Chains A and B, each alone.
Chain A
Amino acid sequence: MELTRRDALAVLAGAGILGGGGAAALARDGFADERRDDGRDSGETSSDDTDRIVAALVTTAQAVYPSPVERTEAFVETYASTKLDRRPDWADGANEALGDLDAEARITFDSRFAALDPAEAETVLRRGGAETAEPVPDGTNAERVRYYFVNEVLYALYSSPTGGELVGIENPQGHPGGTDSYQRGPR
């Protein structure tokens, strides 16, 4: 199942990160003009930190997304770039957690986390304890990695219609998918 920037925009709108009062309607309409907005303001240049966080989130997604999900990069980049831009507090927390993640990656593979392949990234996440850690934004290293990286990309996936459909629900919680789907029977 292929994830697209459109999926990311739907999640961003659903989470209130993108758009204002019209976000719900945009998401409901499926972003017919996908080319109109790539999640960034025109002419905006990302900081180095932002780029590093986005790259690490892409790597995280490639490690923790299920195998039916394809092409995660555009989806995660769009989702993460916009969230970093719109929520500076979240960006600060993610930046701190990335330090922990990179440190673990250097110990194990002598590399930045974002440069790891999915299997290596999964090893780093697992060794750091993120798989079983509680997600706590101001918690231990493992808890912060779980919150800012693992749960961030899982939230993006499973609150999107595409991610929901993997499980069997095309209007997952957090997505403004209208009031038709609850009335429909199985397809």
Chain B
Amino acid sequence: MSADGSGDGRGTVDRSPSPTVDVCVVGAGPAGALVANRLADRGHDVVILEAGPRFDRSDRLERMERSIRPAHGGLSVWDMGGERDAYTSTGEWFYPLNATRVKGVGGSTLHWQGVVPRLHESDFERNTRDGVGTDWPIAYEDLRPYYAEAERALGVAGASDNPFAPSREEPFPMPAFPPSYSDSLFAEACEAAGIAMHSVPNARNSEARDGRSECVGYGTCKPVCPSGAKYSADYTVEAAESKGVRVVDRVPVQRLETTDGGERVGTAVYATPDGSEHGQDARQFVLAAGGVEIPRLLLLSRSSDHPDGLANSSGAVGRYFMDHLFAGTGGRASRETRQNHVGFITSESHQFYDNDFEGAGPIKLEFLNYAGPSPVEQALSADEWGDDLLDSLRESYGRHLAMGGLVGQPPRADNRVALDPSTTDDHGNPVPRIEWSLGERTRRSLSKANELQARVFDELDADVEWTVGPDNTGPAAHHMGTTRMGTDPGESVVDARMRTHDVANLTVASSSVFPTSGAMNPTLTIAALALKAAEHLDRDL
């Protein structure tokens, strides 16, 4: 497979800097791609610097095989790991950082699930409503038009059947995927349990769109969609390049250098695969490298003008790191459940999202279509073959059911991304150190989610075989909070237009600006914020 970053496929790539551009974007994931594409629409000269490679799209089927066959570890699917991606994890809970991200053109949307709900109105005023965390400096209404644009940009299949969702101004770009057979089993139980089910907005083509296939059901959405039906940001990068945006891959930015007494960024210094360093000058800089690498880059960019790290006069850079936590319940039914035909979900419930339930929440419930082992994966790891293996597969497959769920994590200053000088990456820079723990509200939220799931399973003719809750939960791979948005420069890193308080021409487009986490998958909000940031930048330019 080729992920050599040769860019043009000919093995020779010019990675020297462009003459001073209007905008230098750091990171070619969804936020960087959308900012660049929008600014190119407005006629601006844009360069994207991407730390990872440009993956050859023709390799996706082989990457899918890697994801199914047990010989290849999960990180190998998108070539993550090694010295480039070294990190450390401290605190109460280990944080499996490299399993939660992809470096390359397209970023983590290459391996994401593709669930794209909007945040609810309540998420923007969590402190006012529940006395938890802080309010956002913007309201849902401020983001609403950008949400609609983001849904068009990503291509979202959805339906307006969710009574708990925030108001919207237009239909989804594509019809929702119909509910699964197992959704119909859950629907009977949920009705008895008093829990409402509704459709899921998916960034996945339910019909051919934007030159990409409809979903053909490979069943491996996460970590790789071979058909291209699932949105990934490399498609937006391609669109941006067709408008003149220059994308340079395999060039991790080492530091940002300031001018004008530290009031402006002048240069992004990046390393190339041959070991040399170059500087890209620009009028505006946009950081779009995710909730871990953005604070790390700011901390690596400390100088005499910014002794605690760039844009860190508040001390908040890297702090308030948040993720969503997974709550799950699974078991086996007495009848067939038809799992693992597809790798995405078609029903969920936002019923328990907006209210504070005795100090718990927000909670989002999901009804999985991939409960239990996939037969082919089980076969490849078995210690038997022939008729014995077939008997085991038949015994295993067919009756599993599972519910998932996400709960929010309130912002805590001691959860943070810091630099670890004891370990360095392939360029000699201190690696990110994740300091992460769970608070009591998060634990209560997980327990509450488990209670709701148990209520549904009580109504199913099924035995509960496993539960994931407060004692064995894990992160949902949503890095948030590390350059939080706010109005007070003493307590936040960026303002409501996502420009840093301290540095005039530095914008952050990422879930790192989320002041609170909500419990909704964050990428649609990342996309909406990126489009909003691009509007502000266009006016500045």
Contacts and interface: CB of A to CB of B under 8 A. Distances in A.
Given A171-B217, A176-B218, A182-B369, A16 B61 contact: yes
Interface stretch (B31-39, B191-199, B237-245, B382-390): B382-390
B320 interface: no
Interface string B308-336: 00000000000000000000000000011
Contacts of A23: 61
B296 interface: no
Given A132-B383, A183-B178, A159 B376 contact: yes
B338 A174 contact: no
Interface string B253-280: 0000000000000000000000000000
A115 interface: no
A173 B177 contact: no
A167 B181 contact: no
Contacts of B380: 135, 151, 154-155, 158
Contacts of B436: none
A185 B181 contact: yes
B69 A68 contact: no
A174 B68 contact: yes
Contact of A150 (B343, B374, B376, B385): B385
A154 B397 contact: no
B139 interface: no
A140 B495 CA distance: 57
B333 to A, nearest CB: 11
A167 B375 contact: yes
Nearest to A28: B216
B341 A181 contact: yes
Interface string B69-80: 111000000000
Interface in B366-385: 369, 374-377, 379-380, 383-385
A14 interface: yes
Interface string A137-157: 100000000010011001101
B217 A177 contact: yes
Interface residues on A, range: 35 or more
Nearest to A125: B385
Given A169-B341, A179-B217, A186-B336, A64 B177 contact: no
Contacts of A184: 181, 338
Given A20-B58, A67-B387, A174-B220, A182 B338 contact: yes
Contacts of B384: 131
A182 B341 contact: yes
A179 B390 contact: no
A31 interface: no
Nearest to B335: A186
A176 B220 CA distance: 10
Contacts of B379: 154-155, 157-158
Interface residues on B, range: 35 or more
Nearest to B396: A167
B427 interface: no
A65 interface: yes
A136 to B, nearest CB: 6
B64 interface: yes
B219 interface: yes
Nearest to B182: A182
A143 B65 CA distance: 18
B386 A137 contact: no
A163 B340 CA distance: 15
A172 interface: yes
Nearest to A137: B71
Given A24-B213, A159-B376, A66 B389 contact: yes
A75 to B, nearest CB: 16
18 contacts: A15-B64, A16-B59, A23-B61, A24-B227, A28-B216, A64-B389, A65-B385, A66-B386, A66-B390, A67-B386, A132-B383, A150-B385, A155-B376, A157-B379, A169-B338, A172-B340, A176-B216, A181-B341
Given A24-B218, A155-B379, 14 more contacts: A15-B61, A16-B61, A28-B216, A135-B380, A151-B380, A158-B376, A167-B397, A173-B343, A174-B64, A179-B177, A179-B214, A181-B217, A182-B369, A185-B338
- 7 residue pairs, one from A and one from B, having the closest CB atoms: A16-B61, A182-B341, A66-B390, A64-B385, A176-B216, A158-B376, A186-B336
Interface of B: 58-62, 64-65, 68-71, 177-181, 184, 206, 213-220, 226-227, 335-336, 338, 340-343, 346, 369, 374-377, 379-380, 383-387, 389-390, 393-394, 397-398
Interface of A: 14-17, 20, 23-25, 28, 63-68, 122, 131-132, 134-137, 147, 150-151, 154-155, 157-159, 163-164, 166-169, 171-179, 181-186
